[in-house]
Structure 1
């Protein structure tokens, strides 16, 4: 899961980003609305955490502009403002959820996972494809009821494929959502990760479509 955190309080932003990264997320930080606007229109993210009190305008105004442009990614507003009028302004601008400061990082994590899951049409926290289950709350993966041990990168790759299923996901999209923006992975790194996942989840679990990308296969009970 790749998140854009829009927060001008740098100590808070760095602390929250570190906690989310410890939980396996990729996080990029924007300190103002203008930077966030550039990143949102040039990069791919699974969700945005947006502070309302930005140095170059109200976060709700930036959000309203993104929605007018047709940018539909989930947005979680994070702010110290507790008045209902502020919350109403955020929701009216297109916010999907709202958390006030101070907050528990675990709550942010749960809400982000729920927003991303629902954005892909999954209501239940456990997503099942064939005999593979991914619990979006606990970040645990099982195959035929047995736990599967994955590296952080393997989990991010599998999670993106599972959320997107049955859509075909390109190699470029996977690279953007699995690796940090400052990292330049080798050209075959996705192929290597997919091969490792197949060894752990079954050879038929992930299908390769030449020239298009990869997708999860529901009939994956054979190895």
Structure 2
């Protein structure tokens, strides 16, 4: 997946391609990005919805989603294509997906400052950036530099912030409210993801497991998907 190979336009669809970054490791970046791709496959894009693993880690989501088929592009029961992209630039993987008529959700891992220059490139001007934040004081403090740099680069205003709660006993409402108040007007949107027991179990995330999600989880995924649609 070397080079862009000339100008390529996004597929003709209302859904934008998405790049998801975590402001720190372990905040739920891979889960959020994969579930968004799954939701869009099930509701609108079908097989044109791809999840691209560009986090640079040894992940297991392809197994948890029980994807099958060609190792070059596995498929989930919902139809999502799972594309591994080791050592590839974000721009390259997005353009590669576009060449196949796909609309990718790219898991960029916890590299929000590394991928910032690429997200500011004209080629990715139609891509929706998503920042995943953990609602803990230490994680919020560590995200300050990310928000500052993204704002300075002019990227924050088209960014969706997802606040992902991964601990059932954590009272995150106050912290979520503080963050929402702080970034409202500076970002395109803020979406809270409540603790989800199915995700907390760390086991299967296939279509059967997704049917056990809480209504609040589906509401958050619907809001996130809606935020990536061209109005």
**Greater percentage in strand:** 1
Bigger radius of gyration among the two: 1
TM-score in terms of structure 2 length: 0.35
RCO higher in structure (CA 8 A, sep ≥6)? 2
